[in-house]
Structure 1
Amino acid sequence: MADRPVLVVGSRNVKKRDELVELLAPHGVEVRTLADFTGLDHEVEEDGDTFEHNARKKASEYARATGHWTLADDSGLCVQALGGEPGVASAHYAGEHGADAANNALVLEKLADTPPERRSAHYVAVLALADPTGEVRAVERGECHGRITAAPRGENGFGYDPLFEVREYHRTFGQMGPAVKRAISHRSRATRAMLPRVVAMVTR
């Protein structure tokens, strides 16, 4: 049997990786993560001022480092009343990378005097696909719109999920099961848009 084509998910975020792996695995492509490459300690500095810049940079650098097609993403929360913050700084908004509780607390602190009708927000995810030479061949963007609640609700998800309420569902991502979130999330929407391009390019 011929080797299956390989796609590397360019992330060390376990929960983010698992979401992408589950979405991509059924399409006949062997999905690997950065952890599958022994000795790969390269970390891409996410120093761009847009989600697309960071996604492109990660996809390109990790593709060259692994020698495989690589799909990388950059994502975050944009709160209108905060001028679009946390934005590209979402993962380290309170200072320490990945400190979800501190990041959530800072958002709530900054919105303390903001009434419910002015707490609109949206999640953004940008996916970039690079070939083994590091050339970015496709970019897709997904968004999910909602609002920020007055306090965290729910234990599911990660990041700002306990604060992000999808109005139509009257529930936060933190209160939703993974199947519902997969159906409507920003990352899922970007991934669904990207899937045909991944299959067409990676498997040919």
Structure 2
Amino acid sequence: MMKIILATRNAHKVEEMQQLLPDLELLSLPDDAPDPEETGATFLENARIKALSAAQHTGLPALADDSGICIDALGGAPGVHSARWVSEENWIPEVLKKLDGKVGSERSARYVCVLSLMAPDGTILAESEGTFEGRIAGEPRGNNGFGYDPIFLVEPDYAQTVGEISTEEKHARSHRGVAARRLYENLH
């Protein structure tokens, strides 16, 4: 079984990726690994930056995830800046404020996840992308998930947020779940 460094310090992503890729031996990013600056204009560019940095630091293949939420009424923002556009405690309040007065399909959004698996020499071993379509709720609901999950309504009926669905359903439908399954298929 190939040992792969997971290029993140986000405990939620580590937990999810271990659940989504149980047949791979995923190792945590060492504490002394550098935090590369995510200067890419796309999710793919940022995933590659993080994967290459982790692979070169450890000498092992590294898997990086770059993901975020793209809200149509905000021109696709926050997009690649989802984790950095405002402080984490203000993510949800800021989105709700910016969408005030918008209803129904005017609140359309999607989660995007891009995965890049790279060797220390920069060879791309596999890449994949997944999306998860939905809408932004009027207020947070549910305690499951993390990030924007309590305000992300799941299609097709938009009755529940990701924060209200089970972990199993989230993995089956989410952007990260789709991307992980595609990556795994590309490796086999």
Aligned to 1:173: 162
Amino acid of the residue matched to residue 107 of structure 1?
A: V
Q: Helix, strand or coil: the match of 2:149?
A: coil
Q: Which runs of 5+ in 1 are unaligned?
A: none
Aligned to 2:46: 54
1:32 aligned to 6, 22, 27, which one?
27
1:66 and 2:54 matched:
no
Q: Helix, strand or coil: the match of 1:112?
A: coil
Shift of 1:60: 0.9
Shift of 1:115: 1.9
Superposition map of 1:70-109 within 5 A: 70-94=62-86, 96=87, 99=88, 101-109=89-97
Instruction: State the TM-score, normalizing by the size of structure 2.
Output: 0.94
Q: Distance in 2 between matches of 1:168 and 1:106?
A: 25
RMSD value, Cα: 1.4
2:116 aligned to 101, 122, 128, which one?
128
Is the 8 Å Cα contact of residues 33 and 57 (structure 2) preserved in structure 1?
no
Shift of 1:152: 0.5
Aligned to 2:12: 15
Amino acid of the residue matched to residue 54 of structure 1?
A: N
Identity of aligned residues (%): 41
Q: Distance in 2 between matches of 1:30 and 1:145?
A: 30
Shift of 1:5: 2.5
Could you give the per-residue CA deviations for residues 123-168 of structure 1, whole angstroms, max 9, x where no partner exists? 0000001013232232211001010000011111111000100122
Q: How many residues align?
A: 187
Amino acid of the residue matched to residue 31 of structure 1?
A: L
Instruction: State the TM-score, normalizing by the size of structure 1.
Output: 0.87
Q: Helix, strand or coil: the match of 1:179?
A: helix
Q: Helix, strand or coil: the match of 1:7?
A: strand
Is the 8 Å Cα contact of residues 92 and 103 (structure 1) preserved in structure 2?
no
Shift of 1:113: 1.8
Larger radius of gyration between Structure 1 and Structure 2: 1
Aligned to 2:174: 185
Is the 8 Å Cα contact of residues 33 and 54 (structure 2) preserved in structure 1?
no
